[in-house]
Amino acid sequence: MEPQGARIFAQPLADWERDGLKASLARAGLPADDVDDPDLLFWRFESDDVPAGFAGIEIFGQDALLRSLVTLPPVRRRGIGTAMVAKMETEARARGARAIYLVADDNAPFFARLGYAPCGRDGVPPAIAASAQFVRLCSASASATAMTKQVCAPHGRAGRIGSG
């Protein structure tokens, strides 16, 4: 049966909470070395008053990089990752982003379900391709896949763009 959307509570991550994010990223095998950068935007998520995960975005003009997405292992496969991505899309759109990029790996099917399509590294805007997070993720795995989704279509409707 198709799960209903998870009910989550999002809170901007305070500077002093970033160690918890770092630990969760390390456990998930995701890079955490730039998490102390005050310009990066992170949120922590709760579900039913229980810590559920983290996510972040970096804004590059009209493009955003979705990063540091992690659902805490005990609460995976309950729709929390899906809900966190939706929240990051809303936050990116509110900051003027029209397209979101990310680097997927064996989790690419998760993002494909949410409307993200492979775009090839050549299809990534130069500022994002040069970002520390993007470079790090792409160099960490030969199977790293750049994916994108348009979040502000011409008539205000979010939509999917084709793979390139």
Instruction: State the minimum distance, in angstroms, from the CB of residue 133 to ligand COA.
Output: 10
Nearest by Cα to 71 from 43, 95, 92, 108:
43
Give least dist CB 155 to ligand COA, A.
Answer: 28
How far apart are CB 99 and ligand COA at their closest, in Å?
16
Residues lying near ligand COA in the complex (CB under 6 A) are found at 3, 28, 30, 69-71, 76-82, 102, 104, 107, 109-110, 113
Among residues 71 and 150, whose Cβ is nearest to ligand COA?
71
DSSP string, 6-71: PP-EEEEPPGGGHHHHHHHHHHHT---TTTT-TTSEEEEEEETTEEEEEEEEEEETTEEEEEEEEE
Can you say whether the dihedral through the CA atoms of 67, 73, 77, 78 is positive or negative? negative
Q: How far is the CB of 126 from ligand COA (least distance, A)?
A: 20
Nearer to ligand COA (CB atom), residue 139 or residue 154: 139
Residue 135: what residue type? V
- Of 107 and 163, the one with the shorter C-beta distance to ligand COA is 107
